[in-house]
Amino acid sequence: MKRPNFFILGAPKCGTTSLAAWLAEQPGVFMSPAKEPHFFNNDHKRSITSLRAYEALFRDAGDAHTAVGEASVWYLYSREAVRNIEKYASDAKYIVMLRNPIEMAPSLHEELIFTGDENVDDFAAAWDLQEARQAGCSVPKLCWEPRRLIYGEVCRLGAQLDRLLAGVPSDRVLVVLLDDLQSNAHGQYRRVLSFLHLPDDGRQ
């Protein structure tokens, strides 16, 4: 059975879903059929907690799949995920999707409203609740992971990228900016294929 050798680490609302979908259609790539398994961030709540269940996601990867990967948008925010991945796959490659944090924060808030994790419709009001929520107050009953409501910390992308690069050689990390993906999707897709040592499949 093949094991994953590349990871899309996040961040949320930065284009990870699009990139994962494009890669899943590339003949040399096998993407986990379950997006965001979040197995390695054991400092957060996880839906998949056993190695057997996690590796079962990749049981259909074949010889033609030289790049085997998954996308879990909270890995970058986690303090443990990359460390755990490195123990599991010491030569893993990492794709990091980023955007302007000022744009990311309200977009994340909108998504959490949609999923029911957030119950304060006004973003400024939700922002002002961060200190209380860190203390365990004013957390919605349906919120899966309260730390996701601490928007300022979630969107400190520079610090999260610095933490990644402190533990992983830069030649195993590719940063893709959402603005670049939106202005030149094909060019960024080809950058990713080159990073994964895959040929251009000619798709536009």
With a cut of 90, say whether residue 83 has pLDDT above it.
Answer: yes
> For 4-59, what is each residue's pLDDT tens digit?
999 999 899 999 999 999 999 999 999 999 889 999 998 888 889 999 999 999 99
Q: Given this model, what pLDDT does residue 203 score? A: 83
CA atoms of 197 and 148, how far apart (whole Å): 34
Q: Given this model, what pLDDT does residue 1 score? A: 79
Q: Given this model, what pLDDT does residue 102 score? A: 96
Q: Given this model, what pLDDT does residue 167 score? A: 93
Q: Given this model, what pLDDT does residue 175 score? A: 98
* 98 and 90 Cβ atoms separated by less than 8 Å: no
* 171 and 165 Cβ atoms separated by less than 8 Å: no
Query: What's the pTM value of the predicted model, to 2 decimals?
Result: 0.94
- Confidence band of 198 (pLDDT split at 50, 70, 90): very high
* 164 and 173 Cβ atoms separated by less than 8 Å: yes
> For 142-157, what is each residue's pLDDT tens digit?
998 999 999 999 999 9
CA atoms of 29 and 5, how far apart (whole Å): 11
SS3 (DSSP) at 156: coil
